[in-house]
Homo-oligomer: A and B are copies of this chain.
């Protein structure tokens, strides 16, 4: 039974992603990546154009996944609370689906150079905006109540994107979903009396 070997290009990208997460992009050298794969640094350039191109691929792959996820949620025809929870769950699933890439996406994007840097930031804003709209809908329907929508979105996204730093995964991914969705939904639910 011959095992299907992983393409070298993918091996390099995976090794780089792990190293970018643990050491940071700037502190990771092409020699570190090559050594992890078992080849020489110069050989990487047979498969990939540059160190930054690896970073670009990781960052934009994740950004696209997040945006795609929330667009799917927007199209569904459910209550605003269900939509909100679905958006949170989508986000958690993408992160737990690739923790290393999520860490690079969140911590290393500043090392992108123009014009891709601006393009990346624009995608982040687009994503935040989509989240805002979902919350706004709930506010208009009287099920949510927030002090400031921008605050709420930033607080939530910081929390979710912080998962990649947790030393302590007490909950399995499926439960993490629900825990976040409930925690946040309750945090913005309109209080009947206080």
Segment with Cβ contacts to B, from A11-19, A58-66, A165-173: A165-173
In the complex, whether A74 has a CB less than 8 A from a CB of chain B is no
In the complex, whether A72 has a CB less than 8 A from a CB of chain B is no
A-B contact pairs, 11 of them (CB 8 A): A24-B110, A26-B26, A27-B111, A107-B107, A147-B171, A148-B170, A148-B175, A151-B171, A154-B162, A161-B162, A183-B188
The number of chain A residues with a CB under 8 A from chain B is 42
> Which secondary structure characterizes the binding site on chain A?
helix
Q: Which residues of A contact B (CB under 8 A)?
A: 22-27, 107, 110-111, 147-148, 150-152, 154-163, 165-166, 168, 170-171, 175-176, 178-180, 182-184, 186-189, 191
Q: How many of these chains are in the complex?
A: 2
Residues of B near A151 (CB, < 8 A) are: 170-171, 176, 179
CB distance from A30 to the nearest CB of B (A): 15
Give Cα A159–Cα B171 distance, bound, in whole angstroms: 18
Residues of B near A155 (CB, < 8 A) are: 159, 162, 179-180, 183
